[in-house]
Chain A
Amino acid sequence: MRFVLIVFFAITLGATSYAQDRFTVSGYVTDSSSGEALIGASVFIREIGKGVPTNTYGFYSVTLPGGTYTFVTRYIGFQDAERTVQLTADTKLNLDLKPTVVQIKAVEVVKEKRKSNTESTDMGRIDVDVQKLNTLPALLGEVDILKVIQFLPGVKSNGEGNSGFYVRGGGPDQNLILLDEATVYNASHLFGFFSVFNADAVKNLELIKGGMPANYGGRTSSVLDITMKEGNDQGLHGQGGIGLISSRLTLEGPLIKDRSSFVVSGRRTYVDVITKPFLKNNANFGGTNYYFYDLNAKANYRISDKDRLYLSGYFGRDVFDLGSSDPGDPQFRIPWGNATVAGRWNHVFGPKLFMNTTATFSDYQFEFNGGQSDFAFKLFSGIKDYGLKVDLSQYPSVRHSLKYGGQYIFHKYTPSTVSVESGDTQFNIDEPSKLLAHEVAVYALDEFDVSDRIRLNGGLRLTMFAQVGPFKEYVLDAQGEPTGELITYGGGKAVKSYAGLEPRLSMRYRLDEMSSLKASVNRNLQYVHLASFSSIALPTDVWVPTGKNVKPQVGIQYAAGYFHDFKERAYEGSVEVYYKDMQNLIEYKEGAQPQDNGNTNYDANLVFGNGYSYGAELFLKKRTGRLNGWVGYTWSKTMRKFPDLNQGREFPSRWDRRHDLSVVAAYELNKRWSFGATFTYQTGQAVTLPVNRYWIEGRLVSEFTERNGYRMAPYHRLDLAATLINKDMKKVVNKTTGEVTQVPRKYRSSWTFSIYNAYNRANPYFIYFDNTGNLATGDLQVVAKQVSLFSVLPSITWNIKF
């Protein structure tokens, strides 16, 4: 890795040394009211008609010939800042932007990172300004950033109320979810109904669903890069809310003014507290209890203009107790959750070279405890990552923007570990080996203007993955049963290793000022898989690393699109088509159960196959005005083929939806009232239903023939929201003079009224076949039943900012 970095340095230093009469302007763009870095702000140089965006840390750099230039800095929701610069030497120019409005305002919810949709080489790259999501309707009033993403073309949700998302036919494990650059393995609470991201603690969110640049890797479908708030370094502020099922509170403020700040945020559900009195005496649910909580914390310290430190962390848990008040009945306790820590160091080597070094820790654990009488069952799985990453950004000239770096992750997987006790007897289940692995990546990319019309973003990523001992492997016979023999690998000894190249290329060809064509091709490797027993995101899903039998997933995506802005860029539209080839996917064997994983290899219950997806995505967005929002439509087909499933025949993926339409609209009536509405329509989910039945021991047995061979009814839903913001001024009466003056309030509060599923559509959640009655009495009935979760569901949330 070091060698490669040195080579990069040598190349880039060589490339920049010619620029004798050229000077570099660099600096940070921040929000003047809070000191927060502004991500993706545009720094536009009027004289040359070109601009550069700020990076994730608000840093920008641009190199120009000597002269006088006007720098115009723009960011949505902020006043443009204009500065004239006489360029005779390298210059540091930090830019503060003032917010245009003080109150909460329903401005654009989702915006392009760059000013122009048609300018960049980005395809399928979307930014969400999380602080603006409050005006959109939300399930039970819980603002959820992942659910907003699902309204974008090419992104699909996993059914009713679910925050799981699937990008262009890829599985949920193919999304790289980063929280301040630390991987989050399970982004959902309560079986997927809520995401783990507390919107109050999140500043920015970027989704890359195609054309993944080389600085990202490890997943084949998408990147969801979430940046937590840094904390206001000017004064103590807070925000919070009280909703139907949870409350949240965020505090932020300076540790040292202008130099260091912090933010802490917490959220907890209280359904358990509310329902407990009702459930306590209920025979069926007396032992049932559920809650989740999240804690986010972050601090940063500006050592100097060249060095900044950030430390951030997340901790969240779900705790689910299931059971009746009868201790003779089965009781379950199911806790799970994530923890992440990220420490980062930004260093500006010079005006043209920016470095970010990140050390990360991620932890995901799942536990299932069940018991009845003297019988106890426990299932545990987990994953721990220790990572170190160095990313360098270099801006040699206004035409080139280079990035290069390397990453190392040490993975420690705990595969499904089962223990069973009956009375005093402990069942003979071996403690499975922890799976240890090293993952290394180096990359380089250059985004450069070949000509005024053509911009290229070319990159290469080299990745290596090695599973290492200590590890014991069961020797299996031809039927896949353990023979009793073991192969033992010593500590650090390689069990299996893989390496591969991941070329990434995307390009833009400008047709005219307002329109461009873009194309991209990517090869991505992924060294971890998620093995799932069910078709919803249950925490029983287990992360399985690449090893002797499990090969790395390969994703190859080709995409092309036409992008057009019109009406002075008030509107933007795009048409994208893609084809994605997926290799080495995994599934559990037909009928595998979580408890089958004991006393054999962690991969013994898996089968392997391939898949593909293709589709077309239409997107039309209105960016500005009182009414804004978008319409997205996707036509797509996603198939899987596994030799050991469905008798080797191709079958639709769970995420195969032929049609998917989304409409998102926000309307600002006046300073106090704003409204939001969302609508979605999706082809029904593909599910496996029995076709025939037969009888054994007098019981009805189902015969399944086609995997995912049946479509449930289409899913559609309309949600509405209205937000009322309190007055920003209040009257103060001077007691001595009696004079009435208007002064700004110290806090701003708002009420959000939300209706989920406004026209009460009974959307299918799943279908099951039930038999009621009895053969003996002749009233046996076999029926199909459709379960729907959420009928029309109003909610109210109170939010406050101070």
Chain B
Amino acid sequence: MPSPTSTSLLRKLILSALVAITLISCEKEVVVDLPMTEAKLVVEGTIEKGLPPIVLLTRTQSYFAPTDLNSIASIFVNGAQITVNDGTSTVTLQEIGFTGLTQEQLAQAAELTGIDPALLQNITVYSLLDGSMIGESGRTYTLNVQGDGRSCSAVTTIPNVVPWDSTWWRLAEQNADDDSSGYIWGRLSDPDTMGNGYRHYARRIYSADPDFIEDTRFISPLGTTFDDKYLNGLTVDLFAVRGRSPFTDNSNDETAGYFLRGDSVIMKLVSMGQREANFYTTYDNNVASAGDLFSTPANARGNITGGLGIWAGWAAYYDTLVCE
């Protein structure tokens, strides 16, 4: 699943090699004077098969704005009018706040929304609590957003679930004396129709590692979104490294990237349309490389008319794997 051409990796390697070859290079922090532009609406919305729609509505901020949790929370747009139409009926999403919840309740809400508890308690999300709209495969959902004095819209369709044929864990083949660090693998049989997109998520729920921190959400390591352009109708074995949650203090995570023998992992394979997969691919590239010479800087290409971000219809397959 990792794309070996991942630009950030290539950048680091090329740069490292240049340093190794020339033995000279230096890096310094500089002040960059960027122009101010008007904020745009950013949609991070999904409607997963069997779940209600969930929308996080934020706005863009200037690149060097403060980065503490409170400032991040301040980019969430309150009081927006968000509707979803499934072809037969239209529902208005409720704005849901999480302030005042106990840690346990927060964890449950995080479980439901897929959002980290640390962030969740400071923000609001738009969803439905009454079950009046639940995602169904084959259905097309139209999103309309009015907020911050702006509006934007998007359309997505939920595809069918594509399961892992099988999943397993395998040692990472490095030092012979390490019989613990490995990667997770899955066998995928792509349906014989073009246009299937996939994004891999995993969540480690148990580890024998004493420093283990449970993942509070499903994490998709960069570079694990793909479509079937090159594997239509094929059965392929794919592997993934362990991703890191941006909301977890993982500075002491010495086994970063690896799943260890004895870990329990929930693997989530999300099927989506090609356009949605294209967003996540370009998003991954964007996150990995921020303005350098080794790649042409490019925006993440979403499907939101009048805004940024993604409105994605998902069909997810869950599989719990014990790494043995």
Contacts and interface: CB of A to CB of B under 8 A. Distances in A.
Contact of A691 (B15, B37, B118, B308): B37
A601 B251 CA distance: 46
B286 A768 contact: no
Contacts of B233: 428
B2 A372 contact: yes
B174 interface: yes
Contacts of A695: 42, 44, 58, 72, 75
A765 B15 CA distance: 11
A780 B4 CA distance: 27
A431 interface: no
A373 B22 contact: no
B247 A285 contact: no
Interface string A301-341: 00000000000000000001011001111101000000000
Contacts of A484: 194
B20 A288 contact: yes
B290 A702 contact: yes
Contact of A427 (B20, B29, B194, B236): B236
A700 B299 contact: no
A285 B31 CA distance: 31
A698 B308 contact: no
B14 interface: yes
Nearest to B292: A768
Nearest to B34: A691
A762 B295 contact: no
Given A377-B4, A425-B234, A766-B292, A784 B285 contact: no
A534 B293 contact: yes
A783 interface: yes
Nearest to B302: A696
A20 interface: no
Interface string B214-239: 00000010000000011111111111
Given A284-B16, A377-B4, A774 B62 contact: no
A663 interface: no
A235 interface: no
B119 interface: yes
A700 B175 CA distance: 34
B134 interface: no
A503 interface: no
Interface in A399-448: 418, 420, 422-423, 425, 427-429
A427 B299 contact: no
B101 interface: no
Contacts of B293: 159, 534-536, 687, 765-766
A669 to B, nearest CB: 30
Interface in B81-133: 116, 118-119
A534 B308 CA distance: 25
B14 A191 contact: yes
B291 A687 contact: yes
Contacts of A422: 236-238
Given A689-B32, A701-B283, A701-B287, A591 B310 contact: no
A332 B4 contact: yes
Contact of A690 (B2, B17, B291, B295): B291
Which residue of A271, A688, A695 has the most chain B CB atoms within 10 A of its CB atom? Answer: A695
A166 B262 CA distance: 58
B63 A769 contact: yes
A766 B27 CA distance: 10
Contacts of A379: 5
Contacts of A781: 67
A332 B13 contact: yes
A702 B286 contact: yes
B44 A428 contact: no
Interface string A702-744: 1111100110010000000000000000000000000000000
A368 B116 CA distance: 39
B239 A373 contact: yes
B247 A775 contact: yes
Contact of B246 (A689, A698, A765, A769): A698
Contacts of B287: 699-701
A780 B309 CA distance: 22
A534 B295 contact: yes
A593 B295 CA distance: 9
Contacts of A793: 24
A693 B300 CA distance: 11
Contact of A370 (B5, B229, B232, B296): B5
Contacts of A700: 287, 290
A189 to B, nearest CB: 11
A782 interface: yes
Contacts of A425: 231, 234-237
A703 to B, nearest CB: 6
A783 B34 contact: no
A533 interface: yes
Given A690-B63, A693-B63, A598 B230 contact: yes
Given A423-B237, A698-B246, A702-B286, A787 B25 contact: yes
Interface in A194-218: none
Contact of B290 (A323, A377, A769): A769
13 contacts: A372-B4, A418-B230, A428-B230, A591-B296, A693-B61, A694-B42, A696-B310, A698-B245, A698-B246, A762-B28, A767-B30, A770-B290, A775-B119
Q: Which 3 A-B pairs have the closest CB atoms?
A: A591-B298, A370-B4, A328-B172
Interface of A: 140, 159, 190-191, 245, 271, 275, 279, 284-285, 288, 290, 320, 322-323, 326-330, 332, 368, 370-375, 377, 379, 418, 420, 422-423, 425, 427-429, 484, 533-536, 538, 588, 590-595, 598-599, 687-706, 709-710, 713, 762, 764-771, 774-778, 780-791, 793
Given A377-B4, A535-B296, A692-B62, 20 more contacts: A190-B21, A320-B17, A323-B13, A327-B174, A373-B172, A375-B239, A428-B232, A598-B229, A696-B44, A696-B300, A696-B310, A698-B247, A699-B287, A700-B290, A701-B308, A706-B35, A765-B293, A767-B32, A785-B29, A790-B24
